[in-house]
Amino acid sequence: MKLTTIDTADGPFTLLAEDGVVLASGWTGDPEVILARLRPAERPDTVEAADLDDAEVAGPTDAVRRYYAGDLAAIDDVPVRQAGSDWRLRGWRQLREIPPGHPLSYAAFAEVLGSPTAVRAAASICATNAPALFVPCHRVLRGDGTMGGFAWGVEVKRSLLARERAAVPVQR
């Protein structure tokens, strides 16, 4: 497995990938923080640092660059690998279906998952999402429209949502 860090408008973004598949990522320059996003059983024994053009990380790092350049769809097809219950796996897949510029509330996300009363469980899907950005858990907000929590800081979440809102044409 390979680990690399790319500079973004929101600070350093580090990702862990294997053969172009992202396992964990987020806005930090600290590899240990990225590895800690994985369940202990999923953490690799060895990790190598990779240049941005290394074949194992080049696709995802290119997608991050393109996303920050305004191509919001660049992250959509980057493969990810996550381990969890069927509920979590379904939730993480559903997060990838939320269109940029159109965030959901935690309650609406729970409803989309077929369990409208499971708002806390839906929020925990977001909280345990390891490949941040590629699985855009930042697109889920509190019911009153405020940010709520985000593993990488509310300012990063606010920035991502503002970037997406600005890039999506207003629908009339």
pLDDT digits (tens, 9 = 90+) for 38-78: 999 999 999 999 998 899 999 999 999 999 999 999 999 99
Residue-level pLDDT at 44: 92
Q: State the Rg of the chain over Cα.
A: 15
**Which of the four CATH numbers 1.10.10.10, 3.40.50.150, 3.40.50.720, 3.30.750.210 does domain 86-167 have?**
1.10.10.10
Within the chain, all domains assigned CATH 3.30.160 are found at 2-75
Round to whole Å and give the CA distance between 120 and 115: 11
Query: For residue 171, is it left (φ>0), alpha (ψ between -120 and 50) or beta?
Result: beta
Name the pTM for this structure: 0.94
Query: Taking a C-beta distance cutoff of 8 angstroms, is the pair 147, 126 a contact?
Result: no
Residue-level pLDDT at 148: 85
Q: Which fold has domain 2-75?
A: Double Stranded RNA Binding Domain (3.30.160)
Round to whole Å and give the CA distance between 83 and 121: 16
Active site residues: 137
Task: Give the pair of three-digit tokens for residue 13.
Answer: 């973004």
* Per-residue model confidence as pLDDT tens digits over 110-137: 999 999 999 999 999 999 999 999 999 9
Query: Taking a C-beta distance cutoff of 8 angstroms, is the pair 9, 159 a contact?
Result: yes
Nearest to 23 by CA among 64, 104, 79, 96: 79
The one-character DSSP state at 171 is: P
Helices (H) and strands (E) in the chain, counts: 6, 6
